[in-house]
Structure 1
């Protein structure tokens, strides 16, 4: 049976927002920054609690990954990153530096 959310990042984002993952982040100066609080985080301060990968139906090169994260200051949110040809390489490298022990599927929505 096909996952009903497999094609739509926005559906997963809404589900995670309902679970309290409401913070939005952007990448600046080698750190993730909370858009509202302006708190800055290095890779060691980030906990990836779920991730979902997507591939465009009409264009396979249209790929993205949704990171569901918690921070060392207990801020919870999501960040959508393009990967493949459209990847933000600096942000992708940032997520590669998140320690393996900070990566889990503790909050993953499983269908």
Structure 2
């Protein structure tokens, strides 16, 4: 596991290591708009997780997930604010993320 001081550094480091796609969280799946791809919870793995605490504002806290999928042999990242996703996400997707959210 690598150590990064900021979200920006984590994204740059992961990009250099081949995590080049950007994923967005939807209620049912992860979406990569640049290649018009949707990954269901069973179609991806979370390889690494990096947490960043907001120094002055807890709302600035974020989690960076390094994600891989054998669907197309893809790798990318998902950036999420702490707890933001919990309200609108399916139980299957929430469980997948929570395993690594500790």
Q: Which TM-score band applies after superposition, normalised by the shorter structure?
A: 0.7 to 0.9
**Within 1, Cα distance between the matches of 2:44 and 2:15?**
18
1:97 is aligned to: 96
2:56 is aligned to: 58
**Within 2, Cα distance between the matches of 1:81 and 1:92?**
16
SS of corresponding position for 2:34: coil
The normalised TM-score by structure 2 is 0.77
Unaligned runs of 5+ in 1: 104-111
SS of corresponding position for 1:30: coil
Q: Please identify the structure whose Cα radius of gyration is greater.
A: 1
More helix by share: 2
- Number of positions where the alignment pairs a residue of Structure 1 with one of Structure 2: 95
The normalised TM-score by structure 1 is 0.72
Unaligned runs of 5+ in 2: none
**Partner deviation per Cα, 1:43-71 (whole Å, 9 max, x = no partner):** 11111000001111112343111000001
1:71-82 to 2 correspondences below 5 Å: 71-73=69-71, 74-82=73-81
| Aligned structure 1 segments of 4 or more residues deviating by more than 6 angstroms | none
RMSD: 2.5
